[in-house]
């Protein structure tokens, strides 16, 4: 019967080759999603903004990352299903019913699409785009959200309007348009369920999802399914929370793929961890007293999880917060601000951010051409620095300074180097690990009693002291400001 599950989940219509994961199978409706112009635009958005100016191999795109996340998310879910069936059949020899197979298939395909579309709302240069000052001002404009959803009812995804838009809100908007053009009926899926496991959404799942969720819950929880205070109406939310944690959580498909992919293309080894070992030790966990349903890990898998967390920590410190990389990120943001000084470019980007008919135009290529245009007219511009790889002159690096300490150190450096304080540029990256203990307490450890052989769930920090060692780490680099001719009045530029 376990083979029947693999056959059901394993049928595919196309195989795409990936340098990190090898062959990735695709269903027909997923091919339709990938072929949509709003998804194809991800080919022209670099996964790591302009990190390739420091690590030349890091030219990989959001397009292949998104497909890789879908692949890893599938492996996570199937690995847990496979382990559950293996352990149950050893003791119970229980076969699956057709309704259980249908439920597993529905949830697996929902996870795949949620993972595939999770980053579909990223604009040019990924995260750096929304961190540019003038872009933030644009995205904070009143009525931006309503303009973006003009003519479409968004309340099934967002009961309330967000005050400020992030790329996750655009991912939901893109997913709505893409899934509306795909033949989900033939696939037996509902768009609201897929979008419901993406970030920023709060949905009422479809009747189909609720039916499959209850079937899945009874199958996984067994005798516990009717215990505790869990009502039948509470089960779909528990299952949707489980699926959401696979798309976006502390052990999620997104992080697993980008750490392996960024490490591979950057030719560094510090982002490496054993994905196979980690996935083989993931389990479904539930607690009817809380109630809770989520990811659990076996005790023997704690080492793989620790490697996963430590690799992520090191990637932030050694790659993403590299002194030259953060300097180029600062120049990139200033170059984007320069482009928006041109009224024509400003109006066009404003339109693209409000109208899905033009959103696909926001790619790295658009800005590279804009940078070249500015650089030709203004050789002493931030755009010229980006186009010609003129990096900031690094002065110093300090860790864990607060804002006042950063200002004090900037003034001290300026005094020592006989510079004006305004000519000292600071770039900080905060590796957010202070909540790692609390967040990982949402992931349980399966602990086996050596006498009774019964298993119980415990908080991860009660079993491993490793996760309590992490705290937020802020790395601040100090540079001298390049000689740049201002293109606009001082009140419009930093």
pLDDT by residue (tens digit) across 222-281? Answer: 878 877 767 778 899 999 999 999 998 878 999 999 999 999 998 887 657 899 999 999
What's residue 5's pLDDT?
52
What's residue 489's pLDDT?
43
What whole-number distance in Å separates Cα of residue 32 and Cα of residue 191? 14
CB 385, CB 425: distance < 8 Å: no
Give the CA dihedral 149, 150, 155, 159, nearest 10 degrees.
70
What whole-number distance in Å separates Cα of residue 312 and Cα of residue 448? 29
What's residue 439's pLDDT?
57
What's residue 493's pLDDT?
39
- H-helix segments, 93-232: 98-117, 127-131, 133-139, 144-148, 167-180, 184-187, 191-196, 207-221
What's residue 490's pLDDT?
38
Write out residues in the chain with pLDDT < 50, as ranges: 1-4, 6-7, 434, 488-494
Token pair for 486: 């201002």
Residue 10's closest CA among 117, 101, 83? 101
**What is the value of pTM for the model shown?**
0.92
What's residue 440's pLDDT?
60
What's residue 7's pLDDT?
47
What's residue 494's pLDDT?
38
What's residue 433's pLDDT?
59
What's residue 209's pLDDT?
98
* Cα separations in angstroms, 154 against 160, 192, 201, 327, 403: 9, 11, 10, 39, 39
């Amino acid at each position: 019967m376990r083979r029947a599950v693999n056959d059901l989940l394993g049928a595919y219509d196309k195989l795409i080759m990936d340098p990190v994961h090898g062959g990735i199978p695709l269903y027909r409706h997923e091919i339709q999603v990938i072929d949509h112009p709003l998804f194809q635009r991800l080919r022209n958005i670099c996964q790591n903004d302009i990190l390739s100016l420091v690590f030349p191999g890091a030219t990989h795109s959001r397009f292949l990352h998104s497909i890789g996340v879908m692949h890893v998310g599938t492996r996570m879910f199937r690995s847990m299903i496979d382990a559950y069936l293996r352990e149950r059949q050893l003791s119970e020899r229980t076969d699956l019913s057709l309704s259980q197979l249908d439920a597993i298939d529905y949830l697996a395909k929902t996870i795949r699409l949620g993972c595939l579309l999770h980053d579909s709302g990223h604009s040019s240069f990924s995260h750096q785009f929304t961190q540019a000052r003038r872009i933030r001002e644009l995205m904070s404009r009143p009525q931006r959200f309503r303009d973006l959803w003009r003519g479409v009812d968004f309340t099934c995804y967002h009961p309330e309007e967000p005050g400020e838009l992030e790329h996750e809100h655009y991912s939901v908007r893109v997913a709505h348009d893409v899934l509306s053009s795909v033949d989900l009926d033939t696939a037996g899926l509902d768009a609201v369920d897929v979008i419901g496991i993406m970030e920023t959404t709060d949905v009422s799942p479809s009747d189909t999802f609720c039916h499959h969720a209850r079937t899945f819950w009874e199958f996984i929880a067994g005798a516990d399914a009717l215990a505790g205070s869990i009502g039948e109406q509470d089960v779909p939310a528990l299952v949707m929370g489980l699926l959401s944690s696979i798309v976006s959580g502390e052990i999620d498909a997104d992080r697993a793929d980008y750490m392996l992919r960024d490490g591979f293309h950057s030719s560094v080894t510090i982002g490496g961890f054993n994905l196979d070992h980690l996935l083989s030790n993931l389990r479904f966990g539930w607690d009817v007293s809380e109630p809770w349903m989520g990811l659990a890990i076996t005790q023997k898998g704690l080492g793989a999880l620790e490697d996963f967390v430590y690799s992520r920590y090191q990637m932030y410190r050694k790659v993403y917060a590299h002194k030259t990389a953060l300097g180029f990120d600062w120049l990139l943001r200033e170059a984007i601000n320069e482009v928006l000084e041109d009224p024509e470019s400003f109006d066009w980007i404003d339109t693209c951010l409000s109208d899905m008919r033009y959103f696909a135009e926001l790619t790295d290529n658009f800005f590279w051409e804009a940078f070249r245009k500015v650089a030709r007219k203004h050789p002493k511009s931030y755009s010229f620095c980006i186009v010609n790889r003129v990096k900031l002159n690094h002065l110093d690096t300090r860790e864990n300074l607060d804002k006042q300490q950063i200002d004090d150190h900037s003034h001290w450096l300026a005094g020592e180097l006989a510079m004006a304080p305004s000519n000292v540029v600071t770039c900080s990256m905060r590796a957010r690990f202070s909540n790692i203990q609390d967040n990982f307490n949402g992931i349980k450890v399966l602990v086996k009693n050596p006498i009774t052989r019964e298993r119980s769930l415990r908080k991860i920090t009660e079993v491993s002291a490793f996760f309590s060692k992490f705290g937020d780490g802020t790395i601040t680099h100090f540079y001298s400001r390049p000689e740049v001719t201002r293109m606009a009045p001082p009140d419009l530029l930093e």
